[in-house]
Structure 1
Amino acid sequence: HALRNTDFDLGIDIKKIREPEAVLQDCMKDYIIPPEAMTVTPEIVFSPLPGGALTANTQMLRDNNLMDKYPAIVEAMAETVAKGGYGTSVTPVSQFYFQQAFNNVMFGPWKKIAEGYGKMVLGYFGKTPVAPDPQVVKACSEAMGLKPTTEKVVDINEKDPKKGVAAAKAMLEKEGLPITDENIFIAASCKEKGILFLTGKSQVNGMYKINREEEAAKKKGEYTVTVNGKAYGVKLGKDNATVNGVSYPLNVGFGIDEKAIEASKAVASDAPAAAAAPSHEAVTVKAPMPGLILRIEVKEGQKVSKNQVVMIMEAMKMENEIFAPCDGVVTKISVSQGQQMQSDDELLVIA
């Protein structure tokens, strides 16, 4: 606006901005725009969280029911930036800062080091603009078992067998996926998340104004009901319910009819008792935190040892190893790759 009616010309038609804006509004009509994405805050000076990283991280917090931790994480981020060497806060460094701030809030200051943040502080991504805090360097080195380095990043990457075209091709071949330039790029850049995408197991992000699955289920009356770890396919009709293909008469009343419930209990108690199942010790491994099942490292029937890695969960774009709490045999795997879990959800059983 300051250049209007002057001799300066930007060489663009400023009014054309309205056209892509209209397209954007149309594309976003079914989605909720997070309030923090439209907020101006002075905290950005101390905790530089760019727009893309902001909404990506808050979406992950919402997915994992941790959005209440967001103010504390933003506050803690200022320290991770200052003590991490003031690297430019754009992808992926902005993620490093947020991940470490997340860890500092959830597990205590510098008790758990995010891999990307730790490697950045130790010099594995090059030299930071300012020298990182010596105590943070020490904490990262001890936690990761790595020494600080000044070696060139390209030389470090060349020696990593998990990177490059050969490693990407091996991942594709293992899943029976076509070896194309596009697939190689996706596998090399996104690793397991790329494979989940290519195999159709990745989860769609974004917050819809309405829950599409819920609305579709309501129209069809179809639900998956899990009771005591066992799933049932339930279809509700006007006067019946079909459970796993078997129809039962159904009557739904408002409130809880205590007399009817007690009468049902009395009938059930008169029935012959079922033979008791043989007792055996079994240990259930539960999710220590909300997150995505990234890799399952064992199979049902496989023997495992105490402290053996049985699964890899991803939370806030960080990989977390799940260890076997005891020796034994995996008798049940309760999850699948790509599944989103909540804290204390059952992962597997060892007996």
Structure 2
Amino acid sequence: MWAGRTVIHFPAQRRDPLSALSLRLAAALGLILASVAVVWLDRDGYRDANRDSAGLSLLDCFYYVVVSLSTTGYGDIAPVSESARLLNVLYITPARVIFLIILVGTTLEVLTEQYRTGLRLSRWRRAVKDHVIICGYGTKGRSAISALLENGFDKSRIVVVERSGAALRQATSAGLVAIEGSATRSATLNEAHIRTAKAVIIATDSDDAAVLVALTVRQLTAGQVRIIAAAREAENAPLLKQSGAHHVIVSSATAGRLLGLSTSAPPLIEVVEDLLTPGQGMALAMRSAERHEVGRSPRELDTLVIALVRRGKVVTLADRAGGVIETGDMLVHVRDDRRTSTPVS
């Protein structure tokens, strides 16, 4: 069970902290090995206070270099010859400074990254509004995001809520802001700024989880945020609507109808695929009715209109009310994606 505070993951950046740290460790190790080699070449110029004879073993060289570069300096091994002392002045001392720069630079980078993350978080919290929250980054969630982006929705206004670590990494790699946690928890949805959201898309793996998410969203927003949910079984669609979902897409029933069409009327399934696939030919779109179109029949327009949206309700052309376009109507029409790639809102 998920416990603890909610974590917000921002889009992955090109910098790889692990690679940067590995490079610094490799540089520090290389500096140590080079210093050991230099000291070993002049090992007879050093004396160990615990021994009577001059000279160092290979282990003594490693010991001397490590305590010198780390500024520990026990003083038991010291340069006694002029060449060894000159070597300390010209090489060991600069190497000590470089070694400290590597260590301090790594620490500063970690602190800078933490500060940068905190700054991005505060900026995001101030700016996020009219966004879409995607609960679940599985196949349905990714497809919903693709549809939003294809219709010109800004990627920065999409927030993913997911529990799976692998899915979170995929979301951030795709340039999305992701919140780690369960969408059934009020704290998680509050971190996603649910009250200022434009809509919530529930794309969970199970219908029972979708119901819980819908109930939580309705409780937090008092029904002011549009909820679109996906259901696996048709029998759960009424329950989701009772829980607060404004629209419910039944995935199994929709897939079944498409399978039936592909068998009984193969050309129809090709038309449906064309409408749902961007850039392939035909595409569904919606726009506001223009002033010169008000009072005219939708069938008289050059645009192929298939329905009207009037005061939030869909009016088909078969309805008597759909015979004339009124002020404020939205026209649902078929456009040619091969001629234009401009998003239509």
- TM-score normalised according to structure 1 size: 0.26
- TM-score normalised according to structure 2 size: 0.26
Which structure's relative contact order is higher, taking Cα pairs within 8 Å and 6+ residues apart? 2
Larger proportion of helix = 2
